[in-house]
Amino acid sequence: MLFKDITILDENLDVQTNMYVATKDDRVAYIGKTMPQGDFGEVYSGKDRLLMTGFFNAHAHSAMTLMRGYGENMVLQDWLSKRIWPFESKLTSKAVYWGTLLAMAESLRFGIVSTSDMYFFIPDIAKAVIDSGAKNNISNALVVNSDIPFEERSEVKELRVVKKVFDGAENGRIKIDASLHAEYTSNEDVARKLADLAKELDVNMQVHVAETKLEFEECKQRHDGRTPVRYLADCGIFDTRTTAAHCVWLDDEDYDILREKGVTVATNPVSNLKLASGICDTAKVLDKGVNLAIGTDSVTSNNSLNFIEEIKTLALVSKVRAGDPTAVTPKQALYAATKGGAIAQGRDDCGQLKVGNKADIIVMRTDVPNMRPVHDALSNIVYSASGSDIVLTMVDGKVLYKDGEYKTIDIDKAIYETERATQEILSSLGE
Amino acid sequence: MLFKDITILDENLDVQTNMYVATKDDRVAYIGKTMPQGDFGEVYSGKDRLLMTGFFNAHAHSAMTLMRGYGENMVLQDWLSKRIWPFESKLTSKAVYWGTLLAMAESLRFGIVSTSDMYFFIPDIAKAVIDSGAKNNISNALVVNSDIPFEERSEVKELRVVKKVFDGAENGRIKIDASLHAEYTSNEDVARKLADLAKELDVNMQVHVAETKLEFEECKQRHDGRTPVRYLADCGIFDTRTTAAHCVWLDDEDYDILREKGVTVATNPVSNLKLASGICDTAKVLDKGVNLAIGTDSVTSNNSLNFIEEIKTLALVSKVRAGDPTAVTPKQALYAATKGGAIAQGRDDCGQLKVGNKADIIVMRTDVPNMRPVHDALSNIVYSASGSDIVLTMVDGKVLYKDGEYKTIDIDKAIYETERATQEILSSLGE
């Protein structure tokens, strides 16, 4: 595909006007001021359009689209025990497939090319992601609620199998990660064994860390004054490439541990506000040299996958958290949304618009009133764009979404089947 | 117009499915479960659509679209003295007209039917609003920076003239309000005289109140320990119907004064985050029985007029401010966005979908992945909708925006002329 005479954000997230960008197979083949030689297929006119690398959603539970808006205005414990857990106890393979496919459709609409997922039924998640054409680092979080020996646990057995079947599938679009749900839902023996297994299998780790003050305080009580970050580091959880979701409650030493261990902080600003968990000090995360990425968390605590909104919320809450209107610039926010997430996922040839990188591209329209005038294009993207100003999403060189149309997903069917699966689960709960 | 077989939010913001809504002239003529008798003109199919009353933007400086993204990542004083004030010193009547028209276009795209505006060149603001078909309570904030006697001040002379020329114009679409910029930019003599003038002319008041902690603390030092709310009440500023923008820093007694005086708090959640001013305790505003409305502030501190985003941000930050995930329900947020704002503007026949009320209506599409499934339609509107899921905006019975097309505004010309006016001002500043 050849994007002709278009404004771009280059690999440094700097604005370049009147550019030509060509893709060949799954890669970016050309970026330049002049028309490239050769035939790249379809030509896309860049008038009133802005092209940049797509977004990386560093923390999600995609199939929870099934529960969008289910259990609102409840305190956390009621919400979990009266809504989420009963619903999840009835989940089926089919429900997870359709819920994930709907999430992929929503993700593509809002420019997300790749997601770090943490949910049940990995094979069904993988199938939906493969069908959608998107990328995903899939994991199933280990929760310890019985005395079953480590190797007998279903998540452990599943991880060994799905690693063989799916890791690297579809030209690398699918990756399999290990996952520990959290400090407070596991024990030291299991955490250490999972860390060892991640090393043995050479996979990334995804883990929830210090989402609430209660978790932070209780962890210190349980573990000789050690914070969740210190405790998980001691268990070896950070010894393979790790994404630590949330990190709202950190002490000074925690930042140093995260940097030294190369851990990515995946901040979930909307979810943390909605559940009143607090605000991650992302300005400090950046100042301390820790890699920052952005996640949506699930739509039950968001309730959308509108990544433009997530980036804006990140930039906004960072300022009030730091008490400084200059904290977290648009460029820093966009880096976290792109390269920061690609680093977290171990996708080294993604997250930057660069010749030879994967062609994961989004195009935004700028002929709408909210995108004009343009004193500062980066500010307009972060603060002024509406999620649906994104008009094209390409993954690995394939256009998956364009002008409201999906190329790989029958959206009416995805909505219908997701709603049917939801109703079946509600019926089985007697609702 | 007849909306056929459509889901609506009724006057209590409750969901009703398979409804018929008809408008005649500028009013809602029918709401019911069956097709109404009579000819209402165009028939609109309600399949996969949701209809509700439009949004009221309770605090804005519309023409500052000219400066969208101009002066980002700066501390307040630098931003004002190096960017905003020099630019504003070069404003022209033409620039304000086009800047306001572009803001009205953006407002209509995001479902705003009426705005409370505070800016210079009232006649040009009025002309742009009239041309757009939208509603506006227009004011020009009085700032005291010289010893000119009260009646000699340009804002005072202008208020007397524009009240006669524009107040109630266009079948009531245009209203003229008085405005004091703030406690810290005025003095007691002027504040008292403006309060008296508002009573004499029988107009509403718009005023900035307690936006920053500095303002709150310095006011108490200047005025014998009185907070901005107490001081302005003592000056009589709240004696006509008043909108108090911001109210981030209030003490306990302030809430009682606001309630007793019938003052509306216009919260500006995005702007308050972006400038790191703090978070208005809107849960407490509601608990104390004070009318709550929502404003965008200007796009220089936002940087959009995406009202869906503003409502979501309000609901989110309220929870983290209150430390309670149940604080400010979707219904409370939507009431503030509609009837709360209409009350602030003194538009008694607006802000609720009700037979006999003005036909200020928006229609949202629900056949997009982010709006499905529907466990809770109100949650989906507040938390899941994207601003541009709004596909129709009607004011006083006239469709002004539909499926991306403007009926009253030449959007290409509005963008072109706004950008040209911006360039002229930048050139005159030597940029």
pLDDT above 90: residue A145: no
Question: CB–CB of A337/A294 below 8 Å?
Answer: yes
Does B319 contact A276 at a Cβ distance shorter than 8 Å?
Answer: yes
Place of tokens 């992945």: B369
Interface of A with B in 244-303 (CB under 8 A): 270, 272-279, 299, 302-303
Q: Is A356 exposed, middle or buried (0-12, 13-18, 19+ CB in 10 A)?
A: exposed
pLDDT above 90: residue B75: no
Give per-residue pLDDT as tens, B173-198. Answer: 999 999 999 999 999 999 999 999 99
CA A430 to centroid of chain Cα atoms: 33
- pLDDT > 70 fraction of chain B, expressed in percent and rounded: 100
Average per-residue pLDDT for chain B = 97
pLDDT above 90: residue A375: yes
Place of tokens 């309060």: B195
What is this model's ipTM? 0.97
pLDDT above 90: residue A75: no
Question: CB–CB of A210/A250 below 8 Å?
Answer: yes
Place of tokens 């060994």: A160
Question: CB–CB of A386/A424 below 8 Å?
Answer: no
Is A50 touching B (CB cutoff 8 A)? Answer: no
If pLDDT is split at 50, 70 and 90, which confidence band does B145 have? confident
Place of tokens 């002929």: A367
Neighbour order of strands in the sheet with A55-60: A174-176, A135-139, A112-118, A55-60, A291-294, A264-267, A242-246, A205-209, A178-180
Least confident of B75-89, B280-294, B345-359: B75-89
What is the rounded CA–CA span in Å between residue B361 and residue B51? Answer: 7
Q: Where are the alpha helices (DSSP H) in A202-340?
A: 213-222, 228-234, 252-260, 269-274, 282-287, 307-322, 330-335
**pLDDT (0 to 100) of residue B221:** 98
Interface of A with B in 58-77 (CB under 8 A): 65-70, 72-76
What is the chain B residue with the closest CA to A388? B388
CA B99 to centroid of chain Cα atoms: 16
The string of DSSP letters for B80-135 reads IIIIIHHHHHT--HHHHHHHHHHHHHHHHHTTEEEEEEE-S-HHHHHHHHHHHT-E
Is A383 touching B (CB cutoff 8 A)? Answer: yes
Strand A390-395, strand A398-402: pairing: antiparallel
Which pair of structure tokens corresponds to residue B76? 């307040």
What is the rounded CA–CA span in Å between residue A341 and residue A347? Answer: 9
**pLDDT (0 to 100) of residue A359:** 98
Facing residues of B395 across strands?
Answer: B398
Name the residue among A276, A312, A380 with its Cβ closest to that of B325: A276
**pLDDT (0 to 100) of residue B431:** 81
E-state strands within B276-336: 291-294
**pLDDT (0 to 100) of residue A76:** 80
The 8-class DSSP code of residue A247 comes to -
- pLDDT > 90 fraction of chain B, expressed in percent and rounded: 97
- Kindly provide the b/e burial profile for residues B186-209, where b requires at least 16 CB atoms within 10 angstroms of the residue's own CB: beeebbebbbebbeebebbbbbbb
Question: CB–CB of B394/B359 below 8 Å?
Answer: yes
CA B315 to centroid of chain Cα atoms: 17
Q: Is the dihedral of CA B322, B325, B326, B328 positive or negative?
A: positive
Q: Does the global pTM surpass 0.95?
A: yes
Give per-residue pLDDT as tens, B5-64. Answer: 999 999 999 999 999 999 999 999 999 999 999 999 999 999 999 999 999 999 999 999
**pLDDT (0 to 100) of residue B80:** 87
Question: CB–CB of B13/B376 below 8 Å?
Answer: no
What is the chain A residue with the closest CA to B317? A273
CB pairs under 8 A between A and B: 219
Residues of chain B neighbouring A316 (CB-CB closer than 8 A): 270, 273-274, 313
- pLDDT > 90 fraction of chain A, expressed in percent and rounded: 97
Return the SS3 of B369. Answer: helix
Which pair of structure tokens corresponds to residue A25? 């197979």
Give per-residue pLDDT as tens, A227-277. Answer: 999 999 999 999 999 999 999 999 999 999 999 999 999 999 999 999 999
CB neighbourhood size of B168 (10 A): 11
Question: How far, in Å, are A10, B96, B112, B127, B177 from residue B138 at the CA level?
Answer: 43, 13, 15, 11, 6
